[in-house]
Amino acid sequence: MRVHVIGCSGSFAGPEGAASSYLIEHEDAQGRTWRVLMDLGSGAFGPLQKVIDPADLDAVIISHLHPDHYLDITGLEVFWAYHWRDDLGQLPVHAPATLPERISAVLNREGTVPDGVDCSPFEHHTLSDHHRFRIGPFEIETRAVLHPVEAYGFRITADGVTLAYSGDSDTCEALDDLARGADLFLCEAGYIEGRDDRFSGVHLTGRRAGECAERAEVRHLALTHIPAWTDPEVPLTEARAAHSGRITMVRPMDILEVS
Ligand SMILES: [Zn+2]
Ligand SMILES: [Zn+2]
């Protein structure tokens, strides 16, 4: 399994890249490559097109409906609805229940069908806690995590390897469960100790991400969702003080092997 980092800037697009979006790829036993896009935050639809033709996506999963995790799906919807190819079918999109109305509001229209076409380009599926579903070779499990809005983390397994993704979350039992024994734990560290202590129940710090990785005994902790105003060395140093295993800080266009 591979993870392409399309965007990893925390909370809003930054000068070096887009907000959260990750492309997950895996080949099945027949040699077909499956591609699932995990989040599509502000600014991410542009760089996605540097990595793949979006028409090759098999599904999209959205952790929660903050703009830095879903807003550019409005661009993907236009792309899919009006593409010159007429064989794309509907693209499965797994997200919190209100995504279709959010997209319509941003696109300034009534209903979920774009002007001039017959049906929604997306096949919408509603996420819930402890939900399990399959996309090609990927087994995906959701857990509701601690954030001010309905938000999910994902645990994705294919051919015996496991990727865990925090989405946006502060410390909670569900996050420990998601991360347990993961080969790669892609975990946000949007806050830093001291500076952001007045906020709770929103984001992890590098220290709290490291503590979660330590409790969950993950093989590789990859920190992400660092806002433009934070020096990445700060959360990285915090995490290293809390977790003895492998830790990296993700960058736009990184390719992470899950093995
Ligand atoms: Zn976020
Ligand atoms: Zn959020």
Once rounded to an integer, what is the mean pLDDT over residues 238-242?
Answer: 98
Give the Å distances, CA to CA, from 210 to 69, 184, 204, 213, 216. 23, 13, 9, 5, 10
Q: Which ligand is nearest to the CA of 10?
A: 1
Q: Which ligand is nearest to the CA of 202?
A: 2
Q: Which ligand is nearest to the CA of 68?
A: 1
pLDDT band at 84 (very low <50, low <70, confident <90, very high): very high
Once rounded to an integer, what is the mean pLDDT over residues 64-74?
Answer: 98
Question: In sequence order, what are the residues at sequence separation of 6 or more whose Cβ sits closer than 8 angstroms to the Cβ of residue 198?
Answer: none
Per-residue pLDDT of 6-61, as tens digits, reads 999 999 999 999 999 999 999 999 999 999 999 999 999 999 999 999 999 999 99
pLDDT band at 237 (very low <50, low <70, confident <90, very high): very high
Q: Which ligand is nearest to the CA of 226?
A: 1
What's the gap in Å between 63 CA and the centre of ligand 1? Answer: 9
Once rounded to an integer, what is the mean pLDDT over residues 159-186?
Answer: 98
Reply yes or no on whether the pLDDT at 81 is more than 90. yes
Per-residue pLDDT of 115-170, as tens digits, reads 999 999 999 999 999 999 999 999 999 999 999 999 999 999 999 999 999 999 99
Q: Which ligand is nearest to the CA of 19?
A: 1
Q: Which ligand is nearest to the CA of 66?
A: 2
* Average pLDDT for the chain: 97
- Percentage above 70 pLDDT, the chain: 100
What's the gap in Å between 131 CA and the centre of ligand 1? Answer: 21
Give the per-residue pLDDT at 22: 99
What's the gap in Å between 115 CA and the centre of ligand 2? Answer: 30
What's the gap in Å between 38 CA and the centre of ligand 1? Answer: 13
Give the per-residue pLDDT at 20: 98
Q: Is 46 exposed, middle or buried (0-12, 13-18, 19+ CB in 10 A)?
A: middle
What's the gap in Å between 142 CA and the centre of ligand 1? Answer: 17
Answer yes or no: are the C-beta atoms of 248 and 255 closer than 8 Å.
no
What's the gap in Å between 168 CA and the centre of ligand 1? Answer: 5
Residue 106 tokens read as 């941003």
Give the per-residue pLDDT at 102: 97
What's the gap in Å between 68 CA and the centre of ligand 1? Answer: 5
Q: Where are the alpha helices (DSSP H) in 11-142?
A: 45-51, 67-70, 73-81, 99-106
What's the gap in Å between 192 CA and the centre of ligand 2? Answer: 16
Beta-sheet strand order (sheet of 161-165): 132-135, 138-144, 152-158, 161-165, 184-188, 220-224, 246-249
Give the per-residue pLDDT at 86: 87
Once rounded to an integer, what is the mean pLDDT over residues 221-239?
Answer: 98
Q: pTM for the whole thing?
A: 0.98
What's the gap in Å between 239 CA and the centre of ligand 1? Answer: 19
Q: Which ligand is nearest to the CA of 11?
A: 1
Longest C-alpha distance within the chain, in Å?
56
Give the per-residue pLDDT at 168: 98
Reply yes or no on whether the pLDDT at 215 is more than 90. yes
Q: Where are the alpha helices (DSSP H) in the chain?
A: 45-51, 67-70, 73-81, 99-106, 173-179, 206-216, 233-242
